[in-house]
Amino acid sequence: MASDFERKLVSALGSDAVLVGEPLSSHTTFKIGGPADYLVRPTTVEQVKSVVDLCREGGVDLHVIGLGSDLLVADAGLRGVVMELSDNFSEIHVDERGLVSAQAGASNASVAQAALEAGLTGYEFASGIPGTVGGAAIMNAGAYGGEFADVALSCACVTREGELHEVRAAEADWGYRHSRMDDEGMVVLAVLLKLDPGDRDEIRARMDDLAQRRCAKQPLEMPSAGSTFKRPEGHYAGKLIQDAGLQGVAVGGAEVSRKHAGFVVNTGGATAEDVRGLIGLVRDSVFDESGVLLEPEVRMWGFDR
């Protein structure tokens, strides 16, 4: 029998948008993760606000995901509500001033493609980042010399209290894999980007070049969460891991990629505990070898502290 909380979710979103006991392995790029009590897929700002309000009022944990990259979910799953903002919340609009407005669930690739079609440059760096613009705003995603903060004007958010709030770039406190929105538990609804006019052929060539570089250097053919560790100051995580002799080391189905040591990959059937164990092994071994303590970039949800 449905709980009162479940009935409220269904009333707010409709039954098709509320999944009970949904395996999160189907919603993460690692292809790992147990069931969520509830996975919800809102399609309007009011529905997002309703989920935030219901969780706050009911004392229910709320997690927000986009395409499930940069994320490791425990094998036992997650208690509470997982709100997915991906293709259900992914509209993109480009105007004549070079402003790009994108809902949080729009993929970085689709935003880069929309910019290309409009002859706008500045978001090519993100064209291969496997996530959404909402996640890019939360983590100040970056690659190949560019980062989200370089092109963002503002983010439309819902606060923990269920209030709509615009966070301007000067207020976002963006840093390396950091933002005010993350610190304060805001849900990013949409972003506004300012891009520059450019030559379409040059923009396309830049995107193609970055795609080729990623394909050549990164294990894109295997499930992973992207770069496993943050870049330590003055070092590169992959180089430290390689120098410690860890490339190809495995725990269960999790392996330090033989193609790029900065990635832990799922070779098939890896559990979250396999991945977490391998991350711990890498951290300890690199510290023993170099004295550098690696900090995971991958977020880990549902594990006992």
Alpha-carbon distance of 305 to 299, in angstroms, equals: 13
User: Is the pTM for the entire model greater than 0.85?
Assistant: yes
Per the listing, tokens 């997650």 go with 78
> What is the chain's alpha carbon radius of gyration, rounded to the nearest angstrom?
20
7 is known as an active-site residue? no
| Residue 122 neighbours by CB under 8 Å, 6+ apart | 115, 146, 150, 151, 193, 194, 195, 196, 198
Q: Which of 124, 147, 255, 297 is catalytic?
A: 297
pLDDT in tens, 47-106: 999 999 999 999 999 999 999 999 999 999 999 999 999 999 999 999 989 899 999 999
How close are the terminal C-alpha atoms of the chain, in Å? 32
Our measurement of the distance from residue 265's CA atom to the centroid of its chain's CA atoms, rounded to an integer in Å, reads 16
Looking at the DSSP assignment, which residues form a beta bridge with residue 216?
A: none
Average pLDDT over residues 250-269: 97
CA distance 290 to 188: 38
> Catalytic annotation on 297?
yes
Given 22, 86, 177, 257, the catalytic residue: 177
Q: What is the pLDDT of residue 304?
A: 77
- Asked if pLDDT for residue 1 goes beyond 90, the answer is no
171 given a catalytic annotation: no
Q: Residue 164 in contact with residue 49, Cβ under 8 Å? A: yes
Specify the 3-state DSSP secondary structure of 135.
helix
Nearest to 241 by CA among 191, 285, 176: 285
Q: Is the pLDDT of residue 42 over 80?
A: yes
Across the chain, what does the average pLDDT equal? 96
Taken in order 147, 124, 219, 107, the sign of the CA dihedral is positive
From the number of C-beta atoms within 10 Å of its C-beta (0-12, 13-18, 19+), residue 59 rates as exposed
Confidence band of 305 (pLDDT split at 50, 70, 90): low
Instruction: Give the pLDDT mean for 135-154.
Output: 95
Domains of the chain: 4-87 (3.30.43.10), 90-217 (3.30.465.10), 237-301 (3.90.78.10)
Burial class (CB in 10 A: 0-12, 13-18, 19+), 1: exposed
Residue type, 161: E
pLDDT digits (tens, 9 = 90+) for 210-259: 999 999 999 999 999 999 999 999 999 999 999 999 999 999 999 999 99
Which of these is catalytic: 22, 227, 276, 283? 227
3-state secondary structure 142-171: EECCEEHHHCEEEEEEECCCCCEEEEEHHH
